[in-house]
Structures are given as C-alpha cells and as structure tokens.
Structure 1
Amino acid sequence: MGSGTFVSKANVNKFSKLLELDLVQNGFSDAYFLTYMNQVPYQLEGHGSTDQYALSDDEKVHMHKGLVTLYHSLQHKNDIFPTNEEQPNMYKHDARTACRDDRCLFLTNVEAFPDVRLFSYNPSISVDDSERIHTDYFDQNKFISHPYSSAVDGDDKSAWKGPHNIKAGDYIGLDMLRPMPIALNYRVLTQHPYAYRRTLSVQISNDGVDWTEVRTAAPIACHAFDTKDAQENVPDLLECRFSIKETRYRFMRLESKRDLNFGFKVYDISFSAKAKRDVNGQLLEIVADEDGVFFVEDKDE
C-alpha cells in the first residue's frame, strides 16, 4: 500500500524476546512483527504507487500463521503477547502522509477505511479470503485513485477524497514538524461549495492535543480557482488563502463546525513564508505586509 510504519524501541525489544521462543521462521520476521505486537501500527501512507499484490504467497502464509498463533495465545491467556492498548490508540492516529517536500505531515481525523470493529477474526479464514471479504464491503478503488497523499503532493490536479460527508468536528490540517518562528501563509484548494468556508474554525496547537481557535490576520479569502487550462478535465475548485500571525505553534487545522452534505475533496493544503537569506542561508530581514503581518522576505522574489 506504499505505507511506512513507526515502531518503538520497546516493541522491538519485546519482539526480540519472542524470537527466543522459536515462534518465528527465519526470513519472515517482518510478517510476524506487527501481528505479535498485537497493536494497530501508526502508519504513514507513501507517495509511491499502491500495489494491491504487495505480499507474496509465502508472506501471506506466514502472516496467517502469525495471526493464528496470536489468536490462540490470547484465547488461552498465556501472557506471551501484550494485551494493553498503546496510546494514542488507532482512533487518535490523524497524521496520514508526509507532504511531498517532507516539510510537513497531512492531518485529518477522517479514516479512509471502514472501522475495524465492524469485522471479526476467524482463524480458519486465510489472508486471501479475508481480503476478499473486506473488498466486498469496501471499494478500494476510490482510495487507490484518491489517496491522502494527493492533498499534499504539490499537484493541483490530484485530490484526496473522503469516503463520506463531512461531519461536525471533522478536520484537515498540517503538522509543520517543529514550532514555527514566523507568521505563515496558508493555501487550501478544494472542490467544495463556498458554504464550506463559513463552517471553518482555524485552530493551532503546540502538541497536537490541546487546540486553540485563532482569528486569522485577515478574513479567509476564497474565490473560484482558475486552472488556466481549459483543455484539462478539472472541476470547479475553491481556493482559500489566509495568514496566521501567531508563532511558536507546530500544528494547524481547519475544523468544520457543522454537518455538511458533501465530502472532503482536497487538492492542496500547504503553507509558505517569504524568506530573505544571505549566501550562507541566514535570515536577513523581516518585513510587514499590507495587513501589518510580519513575514520573512525571500530574496528571490
């Protein structure tokens, strides 16, 4: 699926101890690792093409063996595998993919896949059969055609599309990876009606847990986006821009305050700042724009 998974050193140490029990066949450790941790991994979707046949037949066999081993161990409560849920749990995993330039992470609480609690595990069902059951329930083509990464790939002709209508509390946003020392400009390009702009609450956070609503330096300015290419089959888009004068925050999100009758169709969410630097890359000058908001001026502009 073109995804990467973050794992803790503690979990690696736990798995190393399990290897001493000779439960894992050499050469297939990765097929057992996530299974034996008995945790939903924190995954980031990649920007490469998705591959629905990413696992070989042998890997699927060993994945099934790992699931069966875990299932029976939990059933008999032999305490070999952990049963406590790590925090943040899967329902709080909102970082979905890295921005194309690796300067940020795309955030949303909207899941691409059905709730795992809708499905039960049966050890007699193979991985292939389990995949077919899930595919019958969920159309994977929409995810493959419009993944999270399309919202932050720098291409205004590709989009992430959510699986359902926007609900009150749903959000999109960015993790800038470090506290921002200067004011930032934001751009959001969507296939949404103007009603979307009127529902938005702009929020910032230092830790991604506690959020503060902020007033933008000027009202969020939205207008119809000119694709400048009438030959392309591009739908009517809404481009919104705004600035946040606050600094020292790391996370920004746009939360919808009420239910809407359309889903997310996000072509771009990005941030920028003007920076003037010397030949050594050091910041030289800070200037104010016409609204009195301070930015760092880029010497190339």
Structure 2
Amino acid sequence: MPPTNSAQTDHILQNSARGFLIPGLGEQQQENGNWFGGRLGNSKKNGDGIVTSNNINGKGGVPIGGKFKAKAAAFSSSSSSSSSSSSSSSSADTTRSRSERERMLLEWDQRSNYRTDLADAGPGRVSSFPVSLFVNTNNHAKPGSSGTSSSSSSSSSSGSLSSSSLSQQLSSSGAGSGNAGAGASKYVPVTAVILSWKRKEGVKAVVAHLRKYPFIQEILIWNNSPDVVLSTHDFADRSTSSSSSQWYPNSNRTDSSTGTTPPPPPSNSWPSITVFNSVANLHDFSKYTTCTLAKYDHCYIQDDDWINLSMDSMYAVMVDNPASLITSTLPAMHAQQRSWTFQNPQLGLHTGFSWLGTGSFMPKRAVFKFMMQLGGSNLWKERVQLADLFFALWRNQYPIVLSHALAPLDQSSSWSGRIDQWSVVYEHMTDAMFRLTTVLSGTGVVHGSPHRVGAKADFVADEESPSFRDRHTRSSCSNDKCLFQTNVDMFPSPESIKWHPDSQQLQQQHQHRDIIQAHEARYKSLNYPKPDFVAMHTYHYAVDQDLSTCWQSFHALEKGSFFGLWFILPLLDLGERARSIEVWSTYENTLAVLVKHMAVKASVDGTNWMTCTGKTERATGSIRIKDLRCTDVGRKIGIQLDTRGIQFLRFEMKEPTTAPIEICGIRVGDMLL
C-alpha cells in the first residue's frame, strides 16, 4: 500500500532501497503489510498498469504493460512542470502533481523489483542444463561420503536439452576447471540449503521449484521454528498435475503465447532431501552450519519466501567463478549495496556487502573459513545469529551480484517487522567493518583486540579474478536462457572512495550507523543514479521480453564500450531467422549510433572474439542485422560454429557517443529477449 504520510514519502523518494523491508535479514524479513515488500509486492495484476507478465511471442508482438512508456514520459513531464511551475499555481494542483509523481514512482519501483506473475512463469520454468551432465556425481562428494542413490537420475526434465553431443561438448569444455579435479567437468553438483521459518507451504514451493534443476543434487532444509515440524514426507514427488497446482495455483492454465499448457514440476529422483527441525531459532547462523554438512563442494542458499527464477543464470556464473560469492537481489537494493563497497589498498581491503536470502551460490570452503573467523572472534550470540551481516564483508572480496526482479512468496511472520531493522543493519555492518579493518591493519591485535592473535591470516586475501572492474555480467534474462552484460557501469567503482576511518574513531562509534552512512554519502555525492532512474532504466529491462521497458546506460559510451549477451548454452538452433539480429530502442540517437558505429562480435568462450558482418537496416523503433556471418580463421561461417554454438554476443562501439544509449529489447534468431 502507498506511504501514509509525506515524511515517509520524502524518505522513499530520496532512497527507494530504504522504502521496503530488507530481503534476507534474519530469516525472512518482509512484513506482509509493508507498502513495498508486502501487499504491493505480492499484489496481482491490476487495471492500473502494474503488469509484469509478458506476451511477446517471438513474432514481434506488442508486450503487455505498454502503458509504462507513457507513464515514464508523464513522470518526466510531471517533474519538469513541477520544477518550472509559477508561484501562482494552486496548492491543490501542486498536491495532485506530487501525488501522481509518487504513484508513478511506486509503480515503477514495483515493476523493476518484483515479479508477481509467478503463477505464469514458475510452472513452465525448466532447466536448460542436460540431466546427463550430472548423472555420475559421486566423485564430487566430500571425502568419506558414499553418496546417495538419489544422485543417479533416470530421466531428463521435460524441456531440458539432453542430447549426448551437447553434454559431451559442455563436459569437455570444462576439463580441468573449478574444483572438480583434473579432467573433470566444471559443471559440478550443488547442495541447496533452505532456511525455513513458519511458512510450511513456502518451503514446499521452493523445494518443488529447485527439483527442476539437475545440478541441485542435495537439499538440506533447516527449520528454525520450534512451532512448526517438517518432515521429508512433506516433500514427496509432486509431479502430477493436481499436486503441481497446489504449489502453482494457475499451472493448469494455457500459455497464451504458445497455446500449450506448462509442464508440471518434473518427477526427478536426483535430489536427496534432509530436514533439520531446530529446538531454537538460530536465525541466519543456521545457513552456514547447515552448509558445512553439505555433501558437495558448493552450496546454494535461500530463504523460504522467494522463488528464484534465475537459477540457470546464477549457476552458469558460478561455474565460471567457482571461488566467488554469487548473489541475486532487487535493482533497488543493488543500488544501495553498491554504496556498501569498501576498499583500501594499504590495508589489503577490497570487500562488499550483499544479502543472501534471495538466492546465493558459494563455495563450501568459504563457509568453513567464515566459521573459523567466527571462532576467533568474541562476537556474542546476538551478533552470530545475524551472520549474514558479517559473511560477505569478512570474505574481503567483492560479491558478484545479479540485479533483476524477484518473485516473492508468502512473506508473513516477519522477524524484522518487530524491530528497527535499519538500526540493526548499520550497527552490525559497522561492527563487521570495525573488526575487519582492525585485524587487517594489525592494530589492537594483542590488547583489546576483537579477534584472537594471528587472526589476520583468516582475513587477508588477494582480490579475486576477474577483478571488479573486469566483471561485466549485470542481470539474468527474464527467460533464464541468457545473461545481460555491459562494461558500462551506472554506479561509481569501489576505487572511487577509500575506506579510511581511524581505528580509534571506529572503536568509539562502532555501535552506531554514522560511519557507514557517511561512507554512503561520499559515494552518492559522486555521479550516482537516483532511485527513480534505477527503477525506470535498470539493467534487466534490456532483456525482460517487454519492449515498453528499457535499460539506459546512464553514461555516454566510450570507444570500446559494449552491451551484449551470455547464453546459458551454446546457440545450436535459432530457427528460421538464425542469421538475423534485431535491437529495439525508442531513442532516435541510439538507433542512429547503432547503425553507424556498432560492431557485432561473437565468441565461443567469451575470450576469443570474431567480428561479424551483415546488412544493417532501420525499422520502426529498431535496427535489423540480416545475413549475419562471422569470421573464424579466415573463413565465413554462420552464427553456428560447426558443432559448437556461439555462447557470447557483443555489440561494441567503434566510436564514442555523445549521450547515453537506451536498449529496450534484443532478438537473436527466433529468440526474443
């Protein structure tokens, strides 16, 4: 529901990330009545333009939600007219203008951050990864583990790619990568850790969804509520249409774009399920203790009040970055988290914060290291229970964050609804940074140290590769078949601001939010996008299958700047239009620049690039590149490379632009993104 007073509205408009309860704080942190994360976030499609479902059918159809382009123009017009109105304007007109502006911003915030179309998207979502990649997984289990019979799958998911040639291609391409061992595939199995809190139906829905993904080979459920008892019998096979409807109420409806009924959750035998019923609420700490029990070397962690519709995308990023923390969050929260990055080369400090409860991949060894850090500290129980506020920062690494809309489930029984959540966040983050800075600086390591002598070795680390400036993956595509990439970052880099409060100041104030907020303010005094810009032009709008929403680069592009796509699997069959690409924009200057100064490049591995040629022509609101061909060792080929398919496409500027560009959608062959 909308804000109830002007003071609250002013606060929201100044910083939309603080206008909603925080996903991932404690167990599940969305209060059902909260205006942004609760009732509005869980609302159904209505007649006022808040529509998140798409009906682009791959044939150039007009998407649902076309009102939003007009709303954006109205928003800008409202802002402009408000700033230029004469002093003779009536108070009533000003109030109406302000109210309309606030309403439109709330709608854009809703659209950019939440997917309320789970009933449409959830049941039809299946993994792109072939089941055969994960059939023999015992060699990835921890030493001494005998594995389980559930790790051998007998059939593939409906709709998954399962050809033996594709499996062989993927397996061989990952030889020697990651932590799977020499000669093994980099496509390793994962243990899912689900934190449950008083929402039995929510955790059932999460389990039913995760069972669609063959890389999830084990599911560990930690139930933090002594008032609720869970059993493995609660998660029996739900592959029948009647039981799938229980978790996805509208799964029996016909998809309007394809004329088919979405398949029910598949009958998969691969994930073994173990349930732990806690006698007390251990809050976030239980995520990490449960991960240490995992059979496999990587954990996927999430709470029970979200459905992650970008599982394949996140897994693909994890496969290429097996040592990193991969997280998924709302665009508004991502904008906030970017001001929570901290660097100081003299201290060897390079870290950032991210929430974990909406879906995160991490190596199990990072969790063991965190447990060692906790063991060497003197954190009291209440601090340890909120371990999420320490884990990412104490890794002393920047997390890889995908920013896109999320799909909320029931978010009642909120813990944070009963506390001053932002006070808790800032207090714990300040404490985490105080301890990290103290240990890295070597000050206070004997007398008054918050950590044991010798603890510095637990926190010192070289920055992960690729470095922050070389990470270009921003968001998943809405169909979870690709990821959106660009080297044009709308936010200032961590190197822009140095974290250097002296240790005495930190020790005196580490119970307060002042220092972190001052750090935020320094970031946001730079060329930092406003909340309304993030809501209207966030990254995933370029690939959300809706031409009425658009990503805007915020900055003008330099020579060599690019945007592009990373496909989850190689492009082997693009249909009748396999050699054509189309890019949409409502900006005339963007289309002109793309026609004149854009080079199309393709890659199999993301490292070695081929320049593509084709005939570029203008269309209404788009450019089309026909007869696309790429150069590979002097010979002309199509976008398909023998048995290897293109996995990366890049649209690169040959000359700088004078203004930001806008991208509303991309079509590659018959795949509309």
Which TM bucket (shorter chain)? Answer: 0.7 to 0.9
1:36 deviation in Å? 0.4
Which letter does structure 2 place at the counterpart of 1:83? A
The CA deviation string for residues 48-81 of structure 1, in whole angstroms up to 9 with x for no partner, is: 49xxxxx632122111111111111111183220
1:91 deviation in Å? 1.1
Which letter does structure 2 place at the counterpart of 1:71? T
Q: How many residue pairs get matched?
A: 256
Partner of 1:81: 459
**Counterparts of 2:530 and 2:435 in 1: how far apart (Å)?**
29
Over 3 Å counting, the alpha-carbon distance change for 1:7 and 1:220 in structure 2 is: farther
1:241 deviation in Å? 4.2
The answer to whether the 8 Å contact 1:166/1:262 transfers is yes
1:272 deviation in Å? 4.0
1:222 to 618, 625, 642: 618
Does residue 198 of structure 1 match 2:596? yes
Which letter does structure 1 place at the counterpart of 2:596? R
The CA deviation string for residues 92-149 of structure 1, in whole angstroms up to 9 with x for no partner, is: 1111001111111001111120122111114445223322332233233322321101
Over 3 Å counting, the alpha-carbon distance change for 1:172 and 1:139 in structure 2 is: closer
Partner of 2:472: 94
**Counterparts of 2:370 and 2:490 in 1: how far apart (Å)?**
29
Does residue 171 of structure 1 match 2:526? no
The answer to whether the 8 Å contact 1:221/1:240 transfers is yes
The CA deviation string for residues 189-241 of structure 1, in whole angstroms up to 9 with x for no partner, is: 1221423222111111122122121224xx1232232xxxxxxxxxxxx3434
Question: Which structure features the higher share of strand residues?
Answer: 1
Quote the RMSD (CA, aligned, Å).
2.4
Which letter does structure 2 place at the counterpart of 1:68? F
Which letter does structure 2 place at the counterpart of 1:181? L
The answer to whether the 8 Å contact 2:404/2:539 transfers is no
Which letter does structure 1 place at the counterpart of 2:525? D
Does residue 120 of structure 1 match 2:498? yes
1:83 deviation in Å? 2.4
Partner of 1:240: 624
Report SS of the residue matched to 2:370.
helix
Partner of 1:46: 404
Unaligned 5+ residue runs, structure 1? 50-54, 226-237, 275-301
**Counterparts of 2:646 and 2:624 in 1: how far apart (Å)?**
21
Partner of 1:293: none
The answer to whether the 8 Å contact 1:94/1:107 transfers is yes
- Structure with the larger RCO, 1 or 2 (CA within 8 Å, 6+ apart): 1
Which letter does structure 1 place at the counterpart of 2:583? V
**Counterparts of 1:150 and 1:13 in 2: how far apart (Å)?**
37
1:209 to 607, 613, 622: 607
Unaligned 5+ residue runs, structure 2? 1-328, 335-358, 408-420, 444-455, 507-513, 630-637
Report SS of the residue matched to 2:554.
strand
Report SS of the residue matched to 2:384.
coil
Over 3 Å counting, the alpha-carbon distance change for 1:121 and 1:166 in structure 2 is: same
**Counterparts of 2:391 and 2:400 in 1: how far apart (Å)?**
14
TM-score by length of 2: 0.36
Within a 5 Å distance, the mapping from 1:1-301 to structure 2 comes to 2=330, 6-22=361-377, 24=379, 25-48=383-406, 56-76=422-442, 78-123=456-501, 124=506, 125-137=514-526, 138-141=528-531, 142-183=533-574, 184=578, 185-190=580-585, 191=587, 192-216=590-614, 219-225=615-621, 238-242=622-626, 243=628, 245-247=638-640, 248-273=645-670
Over 3 Å counting, the alpha-carbon distance change for 1:163 and 1:14 in structure 2 is: same
Which letter does structure 2 place at the counterpart of 1:249? I
TM-score by length of 1: 0.77
Report SS of the residue matched to 1:60.
helix
The answer to whether the 8 Å contact 1:5/1:43 transfers is no
* 4+ runs deviating over 6 angstroms: none
The answer to whether the 8 Å contact 1:169/1:258 transfers is yes
Over 3 Å counting, the alpha-carbon distance change for 1:265 and 1:5 in structure 2 is: farther
Report SS of the residue matched to 1:254.
strand
Over 3 Å counting, the alpha-carbon distance change for 1:206 and 1:82 in structure 2 is: farther
**Counterparts of 1:272 and 1:47 in 2: how far apart (Å)?**
25
Over 3 Å counting, the alpha-carbon distance change for 1:139 and 1:251 in structure 2 is: closer
**Counterparts of 2:486 and 2:494 in 1: how far apart (Å)?**
18
Report SS of the residue matched to 2:479.
coil
Report SS of the residue matched to 2:569.
coil
Report SS of the residue matched to 1:213.
strand
Over 3 Å counting, the alpha-carbon distance change for 1:213 and 1:38 in structure 2 is: same
The answer to whether the 8 Å contact 1:199/1:256 transfers is yes
Partner of 1:295: none
Q: Return 177-186 or 152-161, whichever deviates more.
A: 177-186
Report SS of the residue matched to 1:121.
coil
The answer to whether the 8 Å contact 2:560/2:653 transfers is yes
The answer to whether the 8 Å contact 1:152/1:270 transfers is no
**Counterparts of 1:73 and 1:262 in 2: how far apart (Å)?**
45
The answer to whether the 8 Å contact 1:6/1:43 transfers is no
**Counterparts of 1:29 and 1:13 in 2: how far apart (Å)?**
13
The answer to whether the 8 Å contact 2:372/2:458 transfers is no
Report SS of the residue matched to 2:385.
coil
The CA deviation string for residues 128-173 of structure 1, in whole angstroms up to 9 with x for no partner, is: 3322332233233322321101111112121111121111111111
**Counterparts of 1:41 and 1:273 in 2: how far apart (Å)?**
34
